């Protein structure tokens, strides 16, 4: 069993910065077309994710399963290619690798402390891995930036990845309430003019690190010595998880992740995360980042606290419930072959219907993906699966309804809050 997680495992940030980050996290001012915030895809109502297998980014309307592809010229052209990750416990000091493919990590590849898609263009002064990450949704055409020609941020990003950030920073610091709050929260900021994207990212990191800490689940109480915190089924599930099922060989340590990459063979669909020379809508996972053939179709092991709240599951949300996701671990090849599009529950976007599952018709690619599946966790029977699912439900925090800061009712830009 892993050691317990506690407050001392987390990076601490000034509370004024976290409070400022709360407003920014839910403020659509950070998106090119001012129509989506971080909170739209990482909402507490959906366990800090978005409740769907593949999300609908900027241009979409609504929240969770009710979100649709928008209308008129603003409507979406493609889906977000991967399932929105939950944000629990990412402020823990031990977290070194973010994203399904690990493309944002702590490393000194570019002499700036982080290995990110911005390479040497990443600004200095970022206070954490979470701060480095916060810069990238802003530059993504489908997530927040919008299409070139639609707004000044998207146009600048098209030119070079770092060029949109000063435009966003200027938008934010020009709003008087933000200007004052940055001066109050950061020692080195003397006037609103000093605010750059770095302080914005640092505030977003401070908020996420504080707000989404969660280690008071029944299982955490059990780790603390309260034998009665788990019922009989959860205890059986726990034994399977840590012993026979070997789940903890990958979902290891206090965070339930080795932060490494494995090929589970989730059935592919959606636009894929195509690279420049990819002709098909596929997602090669870690290999897209490492260029190492051994990493083909591998994805980072997800952390599992509050996992009962973050359906659908897997890097593309291929499974709508925990039992099916666990079942897949026990019989990955069988499930790869028998999976049906309805298992994902992809929200309908009529004009994307013809491309959503097009990858499944590419026999050569499907054969390659099937061949890449690594054998794992054999011998899970149905009652085993129910017990393991019961155990995973015991990883849900007890005080999620009373977070430190919550969703603000209004934000300084005056834009709507989701």
- Interacting residues with ligand HEC (CB under 6 A): 30, 36, 38, 40-42, 55, 57, 80, 82, 84-85, 87, 90, 98-100, 130, 133-134, 137-138, 143-144, 204, 241, 245-247, 249-251, 262, 264, 266, 299, 301-302, 307, 310, 313-315, 322, 325-326, 329, 376-377, 380, 388, 392
Residue 191 vs 416, nearer CB to ligand HEC: 416
Query: Parallel, antiparallel, or unpaired for β 97-98 and 114-115?
Result: unpaired
Name which of 128, 278, 284 is nearest 203 in CA terms: 128
Q: How far is the CB of 84 from ligand HEC (least distance, A)?
A: 4
Q: Evaluate the omega torsion of the peptide bond into residue 397 and state whether it is cis, within 30 degrees of 0.
A: no
Q: How far is the CB of 192 from ligand HEC (least distance, A)?
A: 20
Contact criterion met (CB below 8 Å) for 53 and 318: yes
CA dihedral sign of residues 295, 375, 278, 99: negative
Residue 189 vs 203, nearer CB to ligand HEC: 203
Residue 171 vs 191, nearer CB to ligand HEC: 171
**Helix, strand, or coil here: 403?**
coil
CA distance 337 to 367: 11
Give 155's contacts (C-beta < 8 A, 6+ positions apart). 148, 149
CA distance 195 to 169: 7
Residue 112 vs 128, nearer CB to ligand HEC: 128
Residue 173 vs 262, nearer CB to ligand HEC: 262
The helix, strand and coil proportions of the chain, stated in percent and rounded to the nearest 5, come to 45, 5, 50
Q: How far is the CB of 279 from ligand HEC (least distance, A)?
A: 20
CA distance 364 to 251: 31
Name which of 38, 26, 13 is nearest 406 in CA terms: 26
Q: How far is the CB of 50 from ligand HEC (least distance, A)?
A: 7
Q: How far is CA 61 from CA 38, 56, 78, 106, in A?
A: 14, 8, 14, 35
Residue 186 vs 297, nearer CB to ligand HEC: 297
Beta strands in 139-284 (DSSP E): 261-262
Neighbours of 367 (CB within 10 A): 10
Residue 181 vs 273, nearer CB to ligand HEC: 273
- The whole-angstrom distance between residue 121's C-alpha and the CA centroid of its chain comes to 23
Give 358's contacts (C-beta < 8 A, 6+ positions apart). 281
Q: How far is the CB of 190 from ligand HEC (least distance, A)?
A: 25
DSSP states along 184-202: HH-TT--SGGG--HHHHHH
Residue 80 vs 320, nearer CB to ligand HEC: 80
Residue 186 vs 299, nearer CB to ligand HEC: 299
Residue 210 vs 264, nearer CB to ligand HEC: 264
Q: How far is the CB of 150 from ligand HEC (least distance, A)?
A: 15
**Helix, strand, or coil here: 355?**
helix
């Amino acid at each position: 069993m892993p050691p317990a997680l506690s407050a001392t495992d987390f990076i601490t940030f000034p509370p004024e910065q976290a409070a400022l980050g709360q407003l920014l996290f839910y403020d659509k001012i950070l998106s090119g077309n001012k129509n989506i915030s971080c909170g739209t895809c990482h909402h507490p109502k959906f366990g800090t994710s978005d409740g769907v297998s593949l999300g609908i980014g900027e241009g979409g309307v609504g929240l969770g399963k009710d979100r649709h592809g928008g209308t008129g010229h603003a409507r979406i052209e493609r889906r977000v290619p991967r399932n929105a990750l939950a944000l629990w416990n990412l402020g823990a000091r031990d977290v070194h690798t973010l994203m399904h493919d690990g493309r944002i990590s702590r490393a000194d590849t570019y002499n700036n402390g982080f290995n990110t898609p911005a390479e040497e263009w990443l600004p200095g002064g970022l206070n954490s891995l979470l701060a480095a990450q916060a810069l990238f949704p802003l530059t993504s055409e489908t997530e927040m930036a919008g299409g070139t020609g639609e707004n000044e941020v998207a146009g600048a990003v098209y030119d070079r990845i770092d060029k949109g950030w000063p435009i966003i920073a200027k938008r934010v610091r020009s709003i008087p309430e933000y200007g004052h709050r940055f001066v109050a929260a950061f020692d080195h900021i003397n006037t609103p003019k000093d605010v750059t994207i770095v302080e914005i990212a640092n505030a977003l990191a401070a908020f996420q690190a504080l707000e989404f800490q969660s280690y008071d689940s029944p299982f955490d109480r059990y780790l603390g010595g309260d034998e009665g915190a788990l019922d009989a089924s959860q205890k059986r599930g726990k034994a399977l998880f840590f012993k026979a099922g070997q789940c903890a060989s990958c979902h290891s340590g206090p965070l339930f992740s080795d932060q490494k990459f494995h090929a589970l063979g989730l059935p592919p669909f959606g636009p894929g995360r195509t690279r420049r020379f990819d002709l098909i809508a596929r997602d090669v996972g870690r290999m897209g980042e490492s260029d190492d053939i051994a990493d083909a179709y591998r994805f980072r092991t997800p952390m599992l606290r509050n996992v009962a709240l973050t359906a659908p599951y897997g890097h593309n949300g291929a499974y709508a419930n925990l039992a099916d996701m666990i079942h897949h671990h026990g019989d990955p090849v069988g499930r790869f072959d028998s999976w049906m599009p309805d298992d994902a529950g992809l929200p309908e976007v009529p004009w994307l219907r013809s491309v959503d599952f097009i990858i499944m018709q590419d026999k050569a690619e499907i054969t390659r993906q099937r061949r890449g599946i690594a054998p794992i966790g054999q011998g899970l029977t149905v009652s085993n699966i129910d017990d393991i699912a019961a155990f995973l439900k015991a990883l849900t925090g007890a005080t999620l309804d009373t977070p430190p800061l919550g969703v603000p009712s209004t934000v300084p830009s005056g834009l709507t809050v989701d």
